[in-house]
């Protein structure tokens, strides 16, 4: 005879347990967007004639200084989003 196992009902709280609170996922998305913006600032600088080299376009402030700072800031923001401690709703803890 085959036995039939009864499935345990899923509680609503168990279904919503994620590794991080919802606010942290929003911060992660913002951090990844900052990183993408930094990488987008690094692209470009090609010239129409490959035999010509335009130093001012290749080694501009935007590509050499600003974009890497924005990328590092994005990684720091993502690290903050992962490491932040959620605020507890219970006042007696």
| pLDDT surpassing 70 at residue 63 | yes
Domains in the chain, number:
1
What pLDDT does 68 receive? 96
Token pair for 55: 């130093």
More confident residue, 60 or 57: 60
Structural domain includes residue 8: no
Structural domain includes residue 2: no
User: What is the C-alpha to C-alpha distance for residues 20 and 93, in angstroms, rounded to an integer?
Assistant: 19
What pLDDT does 93 receive? 45
Structural domain includes residue 66: yes
SS3 7: coil
Domain that includes residue 76, residue range: 18-83
User: What is the C-alpha to C-alpha distance for residues 87 and 82, in angstroms, rounded to an integer?
Assistant: 14
In this prediction the pTM is 0.69
| pLDDT surpassing 70 at residue 15 | no
| pLDDT surpassing 70 at residue 24 | yes
């Amino acid at each position: 005879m085959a036995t039939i196992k009864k499935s345990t009902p899923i509680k609503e709280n168990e279904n919503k347990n994620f590794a991080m609170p919802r606010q942290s996922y929003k911060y992660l998305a913002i951090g990844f967007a900052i990183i993408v913006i930094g990488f987008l600032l690094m692209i470009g600088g090609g010239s129409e004639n490959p035999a010509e080299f335009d130093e001012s376009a290749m080694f501009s402030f935007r590509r050499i200084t600003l974009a890497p700072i924005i990328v590092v800031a994005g990684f720091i923001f993502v690290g903050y989003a992962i490491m932040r401690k959620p605020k507890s709703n219970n006042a007696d803890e």
